[in-house]
Structure 1
Amino acid sequence: MPKVLITTVPFGDRNRLPIEQLENAGIEYLINPLGRKLKEEELAEMVTDFDALIAGTEIISDKVMGCAKNLKFISRVGIGLDGVDLLAAKRRGIQVSYTPDAPAPAVAELTIGLMLSLLRMTHVSNAQLHRGEWQRHLGRRIPEVTIGIIGTGRIGGRVLRRLAGFGSPRILVNDLHPDMKLVPELKIEWVGKEEIYHHADVISLHVPLTASTKNMIRREHLMQMKSDAMIINTSRGGIINELDLVEVMNGGHLSGAAIDVFEQEPYTGALAQIDRCILTSHMGSMTVDCRTRMEIEATQEAVRFLTGQALQGGVPHEEYDVQRQGL
């Protein structure tokens, strides 16, 4: 009987269909017994005799794969692949799939929610009122600000389409492959990142973590931004240098930040001491519908692999090329 280790948690809490898919296929499974994100060493100890992984954001390194003598398949619940050593998997004959479309609507909506909170300072008011302080804050509306979007793929494109419902803010956009017909309702200006840093009131990041995007935004870039600018990262930890962001915000620069993803998770760093910084626990995809779709699609791929069927969500060659370039 094939065996699957499910490392991502929660799993099957709101919809048991993924678990039923495994049971109906006669596949034995174990859901992460620690109930939290596994450390590399913990995963290496746990994965020893499993045939497949249904994985979250934990590190699946060459070391981990070397401890898994039976492992032939990794099904990633989500889109980010920076935690999976794709080149090591290829060398070891381990196939990898992911679910890139499933989380996108939820992440885009969280981004809009964070943008609204930053602009109206609801997070600051909430913290103050919990301390017994009554203070009203003058905020700004989306149509009245300049918004910078870096990355217009599955999530960045959805953010832009949702912004169209708020009126006609000035939109500055940067992407390696500009699509001039992306959102016809908006007057999108395709510009370099430097222009976004200098002119945007709100900057939202939607790029993968690669060798070229790691620490893409450092102190010098943050200081180029307006003193009252705001920055949102719902993409991947490590794209903004967290220590630089702490230093800049403690110095009074930037009126707000919203960070959902971190270099080390769970996050316990100094950003937690800054009221005007919204911190969320890598929950961009955590809506019932999107999370369920991710779990179902990842499980379907594991069942397909273990029952000899063709995969539908295999990782494309360009993702391997990204890691080959040095991440």
Structure 2
Amino acid sequence: VLITPTPFAAVDQRPLEMLSALGVDCLVNPFGAKPTEEQMLDLVNDVDAIIAGTEPITDRVMANAPRLRLISRLGVGLDSVDLDAARRRSIAVSYTPAAPVPAVAEMTIGIMLVLLRSLHVSNARMHDGEWCWIIGRRISEVTIGVVGVGPIGTMVLRYLSALGVSDVLLHDVNPDPCLADNVPGLAFEWVTLDRLLAESDVVTLHLPLTESTKNLVGFDELMSMKDDAVIINTSRGGILNEDNLYEVLARGHLSGAGIDVFEHEPYDGPLATVERCLLTSHMASASVGCRVQMEIEATEEVIRLLTDQPLQGLVPESVFPSRRAEGR
């Protein structure tokens, strides 16, 4: 079994202990960072399963892994895995979509609070010796737009309801008709993306990265937002165009942005020079409980494979690009 996420089992050794008890030989990522495609080619030759992070698992990588039977993805994002290639090669793909939900939703709320009160700006200036006093806005006094209302977006809405937020705009290609039952007491309205961007004070993105969401929010979309609005991306890099965001911020438009995910990671682009842009290193799911749960669930799926038990975390057919194109 190849284990690529790093760190892995750093907080809780149970995943490695579970594999060891079964007599499984484990190859742990030797690079200390996300492997490149070329590095993956050298790692996969003799493995039956991969406990995978966000490294590229392309058709080329799979072609170099004749024994590979399972890709057990640690987390929810699947843009790094060529799902259709896996199907053609009869390689199962599973994931852990529920585990990261509370941590990502909590961090999203935290970023909202930081941006609305400019805490990141005050902190930076205080560290530079400047007494910095900024008047901000309360979360219950603004209009919040949520783009993508899946499990994480729904959890964000529950937290917003608890914080007394009463003005919420939602956009999703498949609006949930049962959302009012899942988030009781929250007033919300389903709207077009254009209207959501134009009317929201806070925009938060919770979408998978697909062909249809790539660069979904670019220059024109950002410029259509309120001058003092903020935008948050804790979903996937590439949905929000980072170069366009920098250009918009450099013009003085938007009062802030909170970005946890980037098209190319580690990120070393110009947003790091913008004081009112809060940057974090793809860590929204990195709470102790959620991380351990993801690692254990991904490991349990590998054990099911190796002990001929039914897999429980298989990616649904509707997520595969070929099935989306067919409208299934």
TM-score of the superposed pair, with normalisation by structure 2: 0.96
Q: How far is the alpha carbon of 1:321 from its aligned partner?
A: 3.8
Note if 1:78 corresponds to 2:75. yes
One-letter amino acid of the counterpart of residue 149, structure 2: T
What CA deviation, in whole Å up to 9, does each residue of 1:64-116 have, x standing for no partner?
A: 11111221111000000010001111111111110010001100000000000
Alignment partner, residue 168 of structure 2? 171
Alignment partner, residue 194 of structure 1? 194
Give me the whole-angstrom Cα distance separating, in 1, the residues matched to 2:186 and 2:91.
43
Q: Is the 8 A contact 2:318 2:324 kept in 1?
A: no
Q: Which residue, 50, 59, 62 being the options, matches 2:59?
A: 62
Q: What SS is found at the alignment partner of 2:320?
A: helix
Once structures 1 and 2 are overlaid, which stretch shifts more, 316-325 or 150-159? 316-325
Q: How far is the alpha carbon of 1:41 from its aligned partner?
A: 0.8
Once structures 1 and 2 are overlaid, which stretch shifts more, 68-77 or 114-123? 68-77
CA RMSD of aligned residues (A): 1.2
Unaligned runs of 5+ in 2: none
Alignment partner, residue 205 of structure 2? 205
Q: In the TM superposition, what are the counterparts of 1:12-23 in structure 2 within 5 Å?
A: 12-23=9-20
Q: How far is the alpha carbon of 1:184 from its aligned partner?
A: 2.2
Q: What SS is found at the alignment partner of 1:118?
A: helix
Q: What SS is found at the alignment partner of 1:164?
A: helix
Q: Is the 8 A contact 2:317 2:323 kept in 1?
A: no
Give me the whole-angstrom Cα distance separating, in 2, the residues matched to 1:139 and 1:58.
39
Q: What SS is found at the alignment partner of 2:294?
A: helix
Give me the whole-angstrom Cα distance separating, in 1, the residues matched to 2:209 and 2:189.
24
Once structures 1 and 2 are overlaid, which stretch shifts more, 129-138 or 258-267? 129-138
Alignment partner, residue 226 of structure 2? 226
One-letter amino acid of the counterpart of residue 210, structure 2: T
Give me the whole-angstrom Cα distance separating, in 2, the residues matched to 1:238 and 1:247.
16
One-letter amino acid of the counterpart of residue 212, structure 1: S
Identical-pair percentage? 56
Alignment partner, residue 145 of structure 2? 148
Could you list the structure 1 runs, at least 4 aligned residues long, displaced by more than 6 angstroms after superposition. Answer: none
Give me the whole-angstrom Cα distance separating, in 1, the residues matched to 2:261 and 2:282.
5
Q: How far is the alpha carbon of 1:30 from its aligned partner?
A: 1.6
Q: How far is the alpha carbon of 1:169 from its aligned partner?
A: 3.0
Alignment partner, residue 131 of structure 2? 134
Alignment partner, residue 303 of structure 2? 303
Q: Which residue, 32, 44, 48 being the options, matches 2:45?
A: 48
Q: How far is the alpha carbon of 1:145 from its aligned partner?
A: 0.4
Q: Cα gap change, 1:150/1:247 in structure 2, threshold over 3 Å: closer, same or farther? A: same
Q: What SS is found at the alignment partner of 1:278?
A: strand
Give me the whole-angstrom Cα distance separating, in 2, the residues matched to 1:168 and 1:220.
28
What CA deviation, in whole Å up to 9, does each residue of 1:111-168 have, x standing for no partner?
A: 0000000011110111111111211000100111000001111100000000111113
Alignment partner, residue 26 of structure 2? 29
Once structures 1 and 2 are overlaid, which stretch shifts more, 79-88 or 37-46? 37-46
Q: What SS is found at the alignment partner of 1:28?
A: coil
Q: How far is the alpha carbon of 1:174 from its aligned partner?
A: 0.9
One-letter amino acid of the counterpart of residue 143, structure 2: T
One-letter amino acid of the counterpart of residue 318, structure 2: E
One-letter amino acid of the counterpart of residue 244, structure 2: D
Alignment partner, residue 117 of structure 2? 120
Give me the whole-angstrom Cα distance separating, in 2, the residues matched to 1:143 and 1:199.
15
Alignment partner, residue 292 of structure 2? 292
Give me the whole-angstrom Cα distance separating, in 2, the residues matched to 1:172 and 1:286.
28
Q: How far is the alpha carbon of 1:178 from its aligned partner?
A: 2.1
Q: How far is the alpha carbon of 1:323 from its aligned partner?
A: 7.0
Q: How far is the alpha carbon of 1:242 from its aligned partner?
A: 0.8
Q: What SS is found at the alignment partner of 1:283?
A: coil
What CA deviation, in whole Å up to 9, does each residue of 1:38-60 have, x standing for no partner?
A: 11111111111111100001110
Q: Is the 8 A contact 2:70 2:93 kept in 1?
A: yes
Alignment partner, residue 89 of structure 1? 86
Q: What SS is found at the alignment partner of 1:249?
A: helix
Q: Is the 8 A contact 2:84 2:322 kept in 1?
A: no
The number of residues matched between the two structures is 323
Give me the whole-angstrom Cα distance separating, in 1, the residues matched to 2:187 and 2:84.
41
Q: Is the 8 A contact 1:87 1:324 kept in 2?
A: no
Q: Which residue, 82, 99, 103 being the options, matches 2:96?
A: 99
Give me the whole-angstrom Cα distance separating, in 2, the residues matched to 1:323 and 1:246.
35
One-letter amino acid of the counterpart of residue 27, structure 2: L
Note if 1:9 corresponds to 2:6. yes
Q: How far is the alpha carbon of 1:324 from its aligned partner?
A: 5.8
